[in-house]
Structure 1
Amino acid sequence: MSTRTFGNEDQLPRVPLPTLEESSERFLEWAAPLLTADELARTEAAVAAFRGPGGPGQRLHQALVEYDATEGVHSWLDTFWPSRYLGRRDRIALNANFFFLFKKSPLGQIERAAGLVAAAVNYKLQLDDERIPPAVQRERPLSMEQNKFLFSTTRIPGAVQDTVRVPYSEQWPGPSQARHIAVFFRGNIFHLDVLGPDGRPYTLDDLAAGLEAIRKAGATPAAPDTAVGHLTTKARAEWAASRQTLTAHHPGNAAALDELETALFLLDLEDITPTDTQEACDQLLYGNSGNRWFDKAVSLIVFEDGTAGINIEHCGLDGTTILSFVDTLLGSSPEEHSAQSGAVPQGLPDIRPIEFVLDSDLRADIQAAGEAFAAYGAATATTILSFDDFGGNRAKQLRVSPDAFVQLAYQLAHKRAKGLTGATYESIATRQYRRGRTEAMRVVTPEVLRFVATLDDPTADAATRRAAFRAAAEKHVARAKQCQSGQAPEQHLWELQLIQKRRGEELGVTEPLDLYDSPGWVKLRDDYLSTSSAPSVNIEYFGFGSTSSQCIGIAYVLLPDRFNLYLSTPRAVADGLYTFVDRLREAVYELQDLLATETPEN
């Protein structure tokens, strides 16, 4: 196994491509618990027509098999990921970007920010030299490809599909040679060099002096109609049109965008102190959009009191990669990072404002975007939930997978809160494969339905309830392993749908495909719960927005000794969220009590 960051990529196994028959059968199995008998029959008919001899599924799948075998293609998902992430047309702010709230620090804003910048620069220099050790799972290396999206990476809005401006690409070979970051303060934007002319990093004192100078230079808040960051909150095609207008208006605007897009990363200095942890989380997810550039891959955010976190643009970066990055940033002191990077005193770094030339129409556009996003944020309900007396160790004492325990608690709480069991998504990492990212796991199984029903059956005794829990937990673990091994149906069938949209005429598949209008496809993907975990001692909370009008987004940090959750849903259905939280709190303790009374004979 190579110790170079990207040294194992070509030796990693390819993501398995399931057969059409395998994905069809799994899809029916996964959808069935959500369907009535009539809905299942209609879905089975649609699947049969799709997968049958000479059916459209056969032609679409064969095209995918041929694509997977094409020279230069690393995975059958190579086109899927850009289509999935860059093809979405709604706003990415709050809807797609995610955040981590870092563990607390005694440092004030300037010192904390300077330390984070120094640590990130150190990581960047090590990455350039491929000195970041490859991540390993069960003694097998994981793909590190996503690390190429950490620095100088920016999503560019497009009318039909977005693109990404990124190093390590044909357009921009090798690591980024940029020496600056972009700093936002009170809606004002500044260029700040973090590497000197010879490529050596500035010291912590130099960086702190630069940040102090920026706070002074940006002391007057930008007018709401001049804070161009608001535009990055718009739906993607609308933002693309605004960006085109912005660059056409004045040549200086293209230069300003270039400085932002090539910056190694963003640093957002906030002039507020969050009143509590939940406000800190909310601010990290969808705070002052005039002081953000949501298209930037990495935005470090530091509040007035030194509270800090990170906001991530999701198209090229998943949670596991960011966790490794954050763990490295916070795992050593700023002084250690600075020394390791070879920082030398160079005086005050180069600082200059990044400014846009605006007319009345652009100002009105910016103002409207800021107001619309503020309203969108206000229409989102969020809350946090923390258990300091339950964690992974307790679940293991009870002889159950920690993730299975909390996922079953979610199901029980949701049924009690909303009166139904709905489609539930869980993200499963697949980085053991070449360019592997995640697989879509669907949590609801027949065993889950029986477990939920049994727990609320007054005639069921404790042994029966425990047996129902154990069966559901075992099924959960088995399905997670299936997903980890690349044997899941949803993304495969979704890519076949996308192939028809891209190449249907060429392949002779132009007819409507009933599968994708079937009750099974619609219900399986209509999330009531959207869940993802991020275990790290260096973060307090992890969070993202909900994915549909009735969905509760659940981002959870499950550690050996604690369990923290950030939950979100549209405000119109906020009562359901708050009831769910109450039922979840009860369920976690109820299930512990149930399993704690178990004896070996049970």
Structure 2
Amino acid sequence: MLIRLGKHSALIQSRHIRSSFIGAIRLKSSSSEYDYQFVQKSRLPSNHFQKSLPRLPIPKLEDTRDKYLKAQQPLLGESSDAFKATTKFANDFVAGEGPSLQQELVAEDKANKHTSYISGPWFDMYLKDRVPLPINYNPILVLVNDPKPAYNDQVIRATNMMISSLRIMKSLRAGILAPEVFHLNPKKSDTDLFYTVTGLLPSSLSWYGAYLFKAFPLDMSQYGNLFNSTRVPGVGKDSIVKNDKANHMLVMRKGNFYVFDALDKNGNILPPSDLLACIDYISKDNSPASEFPIGVLTSENRDVWAKARQELESQGNAEVLNVLDSSIFNLCLDDETMGTNREKLLRNYLHSDGVNRWFDKSFSLIIAKDGTAGINFEHSWGDGVAILRYFTDMFKDSTNLPQVHPDTKSNFDAANHVRKLEFKINDSIKKSIADAKKNHEAISKSLAFDVLEMHNYGKKLCKKHGVSPDAIMQLGFQVGYHKLAGKNVATYESCSTAAFRHGRTETVRPCTMATQAVCNAINGSNQPSNTELLAMIKKCSEVHGNLTKDAAMGQGFDRHLFGLRRLAEKKGITPAIFSDPAYAAINHNILSTSTLSSDIVAAGAFGPVVKDGLGIGYSIMDNMLGAIVSSYPPNNNGAGFVSSLKTAYENIFNVLETANKS
């Protein structure tokens, strides 16, 4: 059984996904009439709330200082000389360079009211980083199987998923894909009255109408980059290119590239049987595996890939590269069968051998030989809200309303519709491909996966005591790592700020003085009573809940300091708060964590964000919890952590169970 990971994007300082705050409520269709061209016809336009979304707030300088110091306390020790020095640096910043940088940040924000203060710098952070995309940045989500076994045939499932994706794309472009809305109480707000009232309001006021219902529309700006979008390498900085006019699909098999128009000249999706014929034709093509697979170059260091791409273009491949970049999305047909081997599955979707991948595409839908399906997505363009919405809608549409069936036949002449792309390559490019293969293999082999799955522990017991399930999961990470390493370390949990216009993510810092107290109590020699421990655990839940709420409302400290540091760098100054080793340490996230709640997700994973770190994708269900942990041994001990983590949850839930009986 695969672990069901919920709430990636993940995935990397802010690359990981969190959607516990977000939810995935769908607006109802105004018509029950079926239309093959669209996945839905929303009662409200897709961007109905966009103009009136609140703007991401810039926290007060003093509040950021206070929260920053609270996060440093358990890492440095509240009475240590290091903490005293960090406190002085933070206070000096608020009294010195901070106010002028804050004023400049606020002025810059006011001059760009169409976006958020973090959006541009956050794009730049991703696009300027030169490390390879696979493992470092691109997260994965793997779907559960289609409940109808016959529909897990590779060609049938790939075709149905492709058609559902096209229906989503067309609905989005027509503005009839339902806006993303978080309903605090769906029974009261996901109603006809809600749609009528908010629909009557102009876009400039619609958010306020939703707020009266305690419903919170979310930012939709990232959705436009789902389709026909690619990250293109450049020396020093990459760029995101889009071509919404392109109607062709990209399919990869055995490292070969195939394209075909999925929409006709009028922009209509081709008949299902025609699309089935195209996928079937590619799956049966007897061309050998590519001797020099260009796709593996996308696994390289970004500057190395940028220079190789320039050489490819100089050899006469500019047009074929443009065809790849502009394609609707990438569909990878793998010849591997996943079966029940968890590690094989995780490796195939997270990195594979790089041959049958184009890691630069906004997302790649990967279908194994046995129909196992998942996505690997590039992270600079967006976060978990958009990708999970797409994933959820695509899965539901392709399973509940499949367009092709095991007995579907077609007379379509796919051979004259599908085109296999050919590259012109010289010896230098061949060497680049060989080097990329070698480098990617070395990095991939150095990565380890360890999996925890515990039954009979879950949300139900947490709820009996009024403690947050997410807080309990995070507390387990703290207790487990403390047991393993004898110390607390910088921990990252990503939280969406999609409730704001062009919001991205904020960091929750789960390592607190409250969690440190529990670590010392459980792992120490003088363990308190279960009654005392329960009170301490409840305190952890309360603190974690407040941190999460602050982050979701744009009141964390990480993004604010990030923005201020960027301005300081532009001015050529380095305030002591940023040169302090403690600032570097808290941003060296040993524990990088993310969760994605969805019944359709069988697994989610990402790589560690630092070489000596752990990447932790986790979930907690009613009666089960689990985690997929990635690491680079011997820099860190993922297997040891999972063993310690198991003990930590046994101890924590023993406290809850014992207290419940008493």
- Do they fold alike, i.e. is TM over 0.5? yes
Question: What is the CA–CA distance in structure 2 between the aligned matches of 1:204 and 1:395, rounded to whole Å?
Answer: 47
What pairs up with 1:384-399 in 2 under 5 angstroms? Answer: 384-399=451-466
Specify the alignment match of 1:172 in structure 2.
Answer: none
Corresponding residue for residue 161 of structure 1: 237
Give the Cα separation in 2 of the matches to 1:26 and 1:103.
40
Which of 629, 642, 645 does residue 584 from structure 1 map onto?
645
Q: 1:62 to 1:198 in 2, by over 3 A?
A: same
Does the aligned pair in 2 maintain the 1:185–1:218 contact within 8 Å?
no
Three-state SS of the structure 2 residue aligned to 1:182 is strand
1:546–1:552 Cα contact (<8 Å) kept: yes
Map of 2:81 onto structure 1: 38
How far 1:345 moved relative to its partner? 7.9
Distance verdict in 2 for CA 1:553–1:293, change over 3 Å? same
Per-residue deviation, residues 391-432 of structure 1 (Å, max 9, x unmatched): 333422342111011111111111112221111100011111
Q: CA deviation at 1:494?
A: 1.1
For the Cα contact (< 8 Å) 1:202–1:346, is it kept in 2?
no
Counterpart residue number, 1:242:
308
* Distance in 1 of aligned mates of 2:320 and 2:304: 20
Amino acid at match of 1:516: F
Per the alignment, residue 269 of structure 1 pairs with: 333
1:75 aligns with 2:75: no
- Tell me what 1:519 maps to: 581
One-letter identity of the residue aligned with 1:116: M
- Paired residue for 2:207? none
| One-letter amino acid of the counterpart of residue 524, structure 1 | I
Q: How large is the RMSD of aligned CA atoms in angstroms?
A: 2.1
What is the letter of the counterpart of residue 118 of structure 2?
L
**Residue in 1 aligned with 2:350?**
285
| C-alpha distance after superposition, 1:429-469 (max 9, x if no partner) | 11111111211111111111111111123431111211211
Write the distance in 2 (CA, Å) between the matches of 1:549 and 1:573: 7
In the alignment, which of 457, 462, 476 is matched to residue 524 of structure 2?
457
Q: Secondary structure at the match of 1:309?
A: strand
Matched, 1:301 2:301: no
- Aligned pairs for 1:35-434 (under 5 A) are 35-36=76-77, 37-52=80-95, 55-105=96-146, 106=149, 107-137=152-182, 138=184, 139-166=215-242, 176-217=244-285, 219-223=287-291, 226-250=292-316, 253-275=317-339, 276-334=341-399, 336=401, 338=403, 347-349=412-414, 350-434=417-501
Letter of the structure 1 residue corresponding to residue 311 of structure 2: T
**What SS is found at the alignment partner of 2:305?**
helix
Do 1:207 and 1:348's aligned partners in 2 also have CA atoms closer than 8 Å? Answer: no
> Structure 1 residues 594 and 289, CA, compared in 2 at 3 Å: closer, same or farther?
same
Counterparts of 1:211 and 1:599, CA distance in 2: 55
- Opposite residue 228 of structure 2, the aligned amino acid is S
Mark the runs of 5 or more structure 1 residues left unpaired by the alignment: 168-175, 505-509
Q: Is the 8 A contact 1:152 1:262 kept in 2?
A: yes
Q: Which has the higher contact order (CA 8 A, sep 6+)?
A: 2
CA shift for structure 1 position 383: 2.3
Of 51, 59, 77, which aligns to 1:18? 59
Percent of paired sites with the same residue:
28
Give the residue type in structure 2 aligned to 1:277: R
User: Within 2, Cα distance between the matches of 1:432 and 1:188?
Assistant: 41
Structure 1 distance, partners of 2:166, 2:286, is: 24
**Worse overlay, 401-410 or 316-325:** 316-325
Moved more, 356-365 or 270-279: 270-279
Q: 1:474 aligns with which of 542, 551, 555?
A: 542
Counterpart AA for 2:295:
G
* Structure 1 counterpart SS, 2:495: strand
The residue that corresponds to 1:598 in the other structure is 659
Amino acid at match of 2:241: R
By how many angstroms is 1:337 displaced?
Answer: 5.6
The residue type equivalent to 1:80 in the other structure is P
Secondary structure at 1:165's aligned position in 2?
A: strand
Matched position secondary structure for 2:634: helix
> In the alignment, what sits opposite 1:546?
608
Structure 2 unmatched runs, 5+: 1-26, 28-42, 185-214
With normalisation by structure 2, the TM-score equals: 0.84
Change (3 A) 1:336 1:442: same
TM-fit CA distance, 1:247? 0.7
Q: Is the 8 A contact 1:200 1:344 kept in 2?
A: no
CA distances 1:291-317 after superposition (whole Å, capped 9, x unpaired):
111110110001111111000100112
- Conservation of the 8 A alpha-carbon contact between 1:553 and 1:569: yes
Conservation of the 8 A alpha-carbon contact between 2:608 and 2:614? yes
**Residues 589 and 320 of structure 1: CA distance in aligned 2, closer, same or farther (over 3 Å):** farther
Q: Give the equivalent residue in structure 1 for 2:13.
A: none
Q: Indicate how the Cα distance of structure 1 residues 177 and 390 shifts in structure 2: closer, same or farther if over 3 A, else same.
A: farther
**Is the Cα contact below 8 Å between 1:426 and 1:443 reproduced in 2?**
yes
Letter in 2 for 1:70: A
Deviation at 1:561, TM superposition (A): 4.3
**Cα distance 1:334–1:455, how it changes in 2: closer, same or farther (>3 A)?**
closer
> Which digits, 9 at most, give the CA deviation of each residue in 1:62-97, with x for residues without a partner?
221111101454211132211221121211111000
The residue type paired with residue 217 of structure 1 is D
State the SS of the aligned residue for 1:598: helix
TM-score between both structures, scaled by the size of structure 1: 0.92
